């Protein structure tokens, strides 16, 4: 009875989920897939980062926006500031550069968070 239950329960479960399955007792052992996708260099550095502009001063603005902000921010963001690091934008904001002030404000605006 237990052998029959071991075969029928997984088969019934698989069928209820919409898949055809061979009962476990007659199925050939299947090796688990071993292919691992290697992350790109940018992904490994960004994997552990949060989305606060002040914590990512070494990151380029365009990459930070792509990772953490909605695409609609690009309509308002000064286009010449996209290639700068967040540290450069912050320093410009401290000096009072109007475009850097606007860029920094947009980078910290929660309306554009993903």
**Mean pLDDT across the chain:** 80
Distance CA 52, CA 55 (A): 5
Q: What is the tens place of the pLDDT at every residue in 50-86?
A: 999 999 999 999 999 999 999 999 999 999 999 999 9
**Per-residue pLDDT at 85:** 97
pTM greater than 0.85: no
87-102 residue pLDDT tens: 999 999 999 999 999 9
Task: Report domain extents, the chain.
Answer: 1-27, 49-112
Mean pLDDT on 23-50 = 58
Residue percentage of the chain with pLDDT more than 70 = 58
Mean predicted confidence (pLDDT) in 103-110 = 96
């Amino acid at each position: 009875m237990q052998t029959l239950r071991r075969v029928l329960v997984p088969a019934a479960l698989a069928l209820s989920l919409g898949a055809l399955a061979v009962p476990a007792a007659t199925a050939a052992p299947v090796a688990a897939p071993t292919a691992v996708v290697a992350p790109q260099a940018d992904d490994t550095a960004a994997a552990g980062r949060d989305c606060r502009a002040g914590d990512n001063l070494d990151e380029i603005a365009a990459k930070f926006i792509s990772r953490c902000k909605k695409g609609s921010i690009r309509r308002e963001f000064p286009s010449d500031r996209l290639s700068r690091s967040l540290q450069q934008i912050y320093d410009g904001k401290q000096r009072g550069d109007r475009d850097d002030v606007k860029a920094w404000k947009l980078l910290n605006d929660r309306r554009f968070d993903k």
